Amino acid sequence: MSAQDPIAAFRVEAGELLGDIEQALLDLSHDLTSHDLVDSVFRGLHTLKGSGAMFGFDALAGFTHHCETAFDRVRKGQVPATEELVTVILSAMDHMQALVDGDGAGLEAVGDEILGRLHQAIGAADASVAVEPTAASVAAPLSAPAASGWRITFRLPTDCMTNGTNPLMLLDELRSLGDAKVTAQTDQIPSLDELDASQCHLGWQVELRGDASRADIEDVFIFVMDDMTLDIVPIEADDADETQAEAAPTTALAADTGSVASTQATPAAIEPGTGDAARNAKVAPAKAQESVRVPAERLDVLMDRVGELVIVQSRLAQLSNQGVRGPAGELALRSVAEDIERLASELRDTMMVLRMVPVASLFGRFRRLVHDLARETGKTIELSTHGETTEVDKTVIERLADPMVHLIRNACDHGLETPEERVAAGKPEAGHVTLSAHQAGGEVLITIRDDGRGINRERVRAKAEAQGLIEPGAQISDSELLQMIFHPGFSTAAQVTNLSGRGVGMDVVKRTIESLRGTIDITSNPGDGSTVVLRIPLTLAIIEGLLVRVGEGCYVIPLAVVEECIELSLEEDMRSRGRSFITLRDRLVPFIRLREMFATGTKPDPHQKIVVITTGGERVGLVVDQIIGSHQTVIKSMSPLHRDVATFAGATILGDGSVALILDAVQLVAFGQEQEERLRAAG
Amino acid sequence: MQDTLTPISAANWDADGQLEVLTFDLAGETFAVEAMLVREILDLLPETIVPGASPLVRSVVNFRGKIIPIADLRLAFDMPAAENTIDSRIIVIEIAIDGEPTQIGIRTDKVHEVATLNHADSEKPPVVGMRWRREFVHELVRQAGGIVVLPDLSAIFNTKSPESGTAYPAVAS
């Protein structure tokens, strides 16, 4: 994050701010009376407006200003926070994100449309308030423009300058609002020997003439307001015309934006689309500039390790200068080697931890999604999350986002029933979606659970039969039936809604999870809802592997998929010339001769081994020449020129510096299944 | 295929019409790669064959902890395979593949020198009289010792091994 483009830095900062505001808004939608949340939304918007203007994002600053104004009124109790307002501001946030990411060209219409809705929301709230005469009368003088000016008297806390507050800048800001006459109040300045030059002893009185509103003035003091004394009184009106001239534009604006909103034929239908666009846009620049927040203590640990490494390195240098002589020298060398080994593995572990980020950052995004989904479907959906502190590799988090969006959409759209259906089924009206994460061994389990209607077996079966995936009336197990939904083009939704059918099918979800070397399991009880469990390895960079030799080449099989290793006996080998099957505990397991598949052109070893691997309940045997042993495998990606070779998931470097390829278990099993089907068809 | 005219392949002749290149031998012909693209010249390394990969890049090596493919340009130019010799070297170049900067090792029979070519001496490959695929040759440059071939590396590596199998012989399996 050092010396970088300030615009880029602002984008990152704005992204974080928007994220914070969004969280606060979502919290607010659950607790509409919370002043703290209203304040934090307001502060966020205000900061965004300020820094947006500073970096030349004028469209953003202008747009944000309106939202801020709206929230300011909420803050002051002039209008209540409503669900409607939160929703409008949420869509406004998407627009702000778009303005942050782009130059705002062509987005004015969207912005105006949102502002129109904003005014409606505020207006509606106003109307409800207007019933109470007191509130209305409070609102009137505040929202009305200043008569002809204000007399502002303020005094800052004496230690304000140590906090970086500069009274001169406040005065400058006031001057920018209109014609200001500033008088300093010097009555509290102590005598010279008691004077502390670092403290602020002055107060000010400012007579501000012009059309600034009270809110404008208060804005100036927003960051210091808590500790200061501020007194704003209107100067007696001496020109009524000015007042009216000021009032006119406000109503004109409201009318103008209101008409834009009404010309939008289907503002509600547009909203999800723009929301998506904004989210997509959010992904793109994030890629351009990735940054990870690392707790300082983890960096300290890393620093310690590096320090130790430097010491060991100097010991090694000394040793090489002296030369290794005699047993004592050898011992010294060995001890250095051991130290380096220990440090290397500690460094590796520390480094891995640096890449870990809590899943809270992932789960946080879904609150908004569920909020939007609830509105779109008209269902009441509660989202609860557990285990947000579970940490996962940063790359994994990023790649999990899309599949999880799909799974959550499925849960909300297909899984949960409408409130009426739920009540009829004796369930609480609000549907519940639970996201939880926890670590188990080298894996992270992410669970998405809904308490909806569950997967309709009949419909899955009917669909599978219609698509020819299973024979009509065939006996298949429940889990096999549920696996059907992962087939490409498989959708059981009787009607394609706005939410489903966006081109990401369950097959894509499965593929993404498998590309992370994870697995996906579904359990579902009719009437009770469904549970999807994603098992994801903690990190992508290092795996336990089984090193095997085929011909002259060494290959790594991820140990996680290895079920067992058996010997391919000579007679089994002879027998299996015609059919590549072995019987393993009363089950036929097809096997692949890697030597043939890789066309090594070498003679097979006399004692070949079969490594049985399993993914998703399917097993396949891999015939190898020799099993060398387990191997800590640092995964390196293959060059783009080799991306089309699907058999390999990557490569690794062995102890002697040579390269070993890592087999892609999913591909191999698929290959084995294909072979099995071919044989079945032939036989 | 989309970028047969990437900035890289469109040899960056400088304002004076000159180009610094590294020249090397391949099956008796002199080739040249732009010096700008060259990262390193290596002795031969133990190679690991990638079964199922395009024969042009059938193996990978460990280049300072990175796995990079080793390309045999002979295949792109229909030259007979040859044994490695004591002069054989690998030139590591970096070009964009699918828009991604990628390091590739090119196996050569012998590496000569860094030379300066003059644009005035260069010609587009003739339409007839060349048995090589024309799109793989960027330019031919006359030099004192003969012709220097400036291959279009971007075209060679961005061309997917076609199904028709005309570019590279099919995998023997």
pLDDT for the residue B24: 93
- CA A272, A273, A277 angle in degrees (round to 5)? 115
The residue that leads in pLDDT, A278 or A474, is A474
Does CATH place domain B16-156 in 3.40.190.10?
Answer: no
Across the interface, whether the CB atoms of A648 and B50 are under 8 A apart is answered: yes
pLDDT band for position A616 (cuts 50, 70, 90)? low
Amino acid A64: pLDDT: 83
pLDDT top residue among A578 and A440: A440
Q: Which residue has the higher pLDDT, A454 or A213?
A: A454
Ramachandran area for residue B165 (φ above 0: left; ψ -120 to 50: alpha; else beta): left
For B65, nearest residue in chain A (alpha carbons) = A653
Whether the per-residue pLDDT at A428 is higher than 70: the answer is: yes
Task: For residue A288, name the pLDDT band (cuts at 50, 70, 90).
Answer: very low
Residues belonging to chain A: 683
| Terminal-residue alpha carbon distance, chain B | 27
Q: Write out chain B residues lying below 8 Å of A661, CB-based.
A: 48, 50, 60
CB interface of B with A, residues 47-66, below 8 Å: 48-54, 57, 60-62, 65-66
Whether residue A638 and residue B67 make contact (CB cut-off 8 A), yes or no, is: yes
Contacts of A301-305 with CB under 8 Å at 24 or more apart are A301/A350, A302/A347, A302/A350, A302/A351, A302/A354, A305/A343, A305/A346, A305/A347, A305/A350
Any A CB within 8 A of B102 CB:
yes
Given this model, what pLDDT does residue A34 score?
79
Q: One-letter amino acid identity for A348?
A: R
Residue of B nearest to A654 (CA): B62
H or E element in which residue A153 lies: strand A149-155
Residue A147 predicted with pLDDT over 70: no
pLDDT of residue A627: 92
What radius of gyration do chain B's Cα atoms show? Answer: 15
Q: According to the model, what pLDDT value does residue A61 have?
A: 81
Name chain B contacts of A597, Cβ cutoff 8 Å: 51
| Phi and psi torsions of A151, nearest 5° | -110, 115
| Rounded CA separation A453/A528 (Å) | 6
Contact A641 B97 (CB under 8 A): yes
Radius of gyration of chain A (CA): 33
Please state the separation of Cα B161 from the chain's center in Å: 16
Within 358-397 of A, beta carbons closer than 8 Å to B belong to none
Residue A389's identity, in one-letter code, is: T
Phi, psi of A101 (to 5 degrees): -75, -35
Contact A636 B48 (CB under 8 A): no
Q: According to the model, what pLDDT value does residue B124 have?
A: 85
Does A637 reach chain B within 8 Å, measured CB to CB? yes
Tokens found for residue A41: 């939304």
Beta carbons of A410 and A520 less than 8 angstroms apart: no
Residue % of chain A over a pLDDT of 70: 81
Across the interface, whether the CB atoms of B62 and A657 are under 8 A apart is answered yes
Over pLDDT 90: what percentage of chain A?
4
| pLDDT interval class at B2 (50, 70, 90) | very low
- Count Cβ–Cβ pairs < 8 Å, chain A vs chain B: 75
Quote the tokens at residue A288: 């351009």
What's at A492, amino acid-wise? T
Q: Residue B60: its pLDDT value, please?
A: 93
Q: Which residue has the tokens 């044989």?
A: A679
**Which is more confidently placed, A341 or A265?**
A341
Q: What is the mean pLDDT of residues A435-447?
A: 81
pLDDT score recorded for residue A500: 46
Which pLDDT score is estimated for B1? Answer: 42
Which of these, A407, A376, A391, lies nearest to A443 by C-alpha position?
A391
Checking if the pLDDT of A148 tops 60, the result is yes
CB A519 within 8 A of CB A513: yes
- Chain A residues whose CB is inside 8 A of the B92 CB are none
Measured in angstroms, the CA of A551 and the nearest CA of chain B are apart by: 11
| Phi and psi angles of residue A40, each rounded to the nearest 5 degrees, phi first | -70, -35
Q: Is A584 helix (H, G, I), strand (E, B) or coil?
A: strand
Contact yes or no for A642 and B60 at CB 8 A? yes
Q: Is the dihedral of CA A31, A36, A39, A41 positive or negative?
A: negative
Which among B43, B62, B100, B157 is the top mutation candidate for probing chain A, defined by the most A β-carbons within 10 Å of its own β-carbon? B62
Confidence class for position B91, pLDDT limits 50, 70, 90:
very high
Q: Which amino acid is at A482?
A: L
Is residue A80's pLDDT more than 70?
yes
Q: For residue A424, which of A453, A450, A384, A455 has the smallest C-alpha distance?
A: A453
pLDDT tens-digit readout, B101-130: 889 999 999 999 898 988 888 888 887 777
Q: What angle in degrees, to the nearest 10, is found between the helix axes of A6-30 and A83-101?
A: 170
pLDDT-derived band at A579 (thresholds 50, 70, 90) equals low
- Whether the CB-CB separation of A415 and A529 falls below 8 Å is answered with yes
pLDDT per residue as tens digits for the range A8-45:
777 888 888 888 888 888 888 877 777 788 888 888 88
SS3 (DSSP) at A304: helix
pLDDT of residue A131: 38
Q: Which of B47, B50, B66, B70 to mutate to test the interface with A (most CBs of A within 10 A)?
A: B50
DSSP SS3 for A33: coil
**Mutation target vs B (from A600, A659, A661, A671; most B CBs, 10 A cutoff):** A659
The model's pLDDT over A154-163, given as tens digits with 9 standing for 90+, comes to: 888 777 777 7
**Which residue on chain A is closest to B99 by alpha carbon?**
A640
Strands (E), chain B: 18-26, 29-34, 38-43, 48-49, 59-63, 66-71, 89-97, 100-108, 110-118, 122-123, 137-143, 146-151
Q: Is the pLDDT of residue A104 over 80?
A: no
A641 vs B49, B52, B69: nearest CB = B69
Give the pairing of strands A203-209 and A581-584.
unpaired
Kindly write down the DSSP assignment for every residue of A191-239, as one continuous string: PGGG--TTS---EEEEEEESS--HHHHHHHTTTTTTTSEEEEEEPPP--
State the Cα–Cα distance between residues A596 and A592, nearest whole angstrom.
8
Taking the C-alpha atoms of residue A315 and residue A309, their distance in angstroms, rounded to an integer, is 10
Tell me how far apart the alpha carbons of residues A102 and A57 are, in angstroms, rounded to a whole number: 10
What is the separation of C-alpha A528 from the centre of its chain, rounded to a whole number of angstroms? 29
Return the pLDDT at A495: 46
Pick from B52, B62, B157: which is nearest to A653 by CB? B62
Cβ-contact B23, B146 below 8 angstroms: no
CA distances from A303 to A307, A314, A322, B31 (A): 6, 17, 29, 48
Cα angle vertex A309, ends A305, A311, to 5°? Answer: 120
Q: What does the pLDDT look like over B132-166, one tens digit per residue?
A: 888 888 888 888 878 899 998 888 887 754 433 33
Residue A669, pLDDT score? 77
pLDDT at B41 over 90: yes
Confidence of residue A576 (pLDDT cuts 50, 70, 90): low
Closest Cβ opposite residue B61 in set A637, A647, A659: A659
Out of B46, B104, B173, the one facing A599 most closely (by C-beta) is B173
pLDDT tens string A508-537: 788 888 778 788 888 888 888 889 989 887
Confidence check: pLDDT of A499 > 50? no
Which of A553, A599, A659 has the CB atom closest to B62's CB atom?
Answer: A659
- Mean pLDDT, chain A, integer: 76
Q: How far B127 CA lies from chain A's nearest CA (Å)?
A: 29
The answer to whether the CB of A500 falls within 8 A of the CB of A407 is: no
Q: Is A602 on the interface with B (CB under 8 A)?
A: no
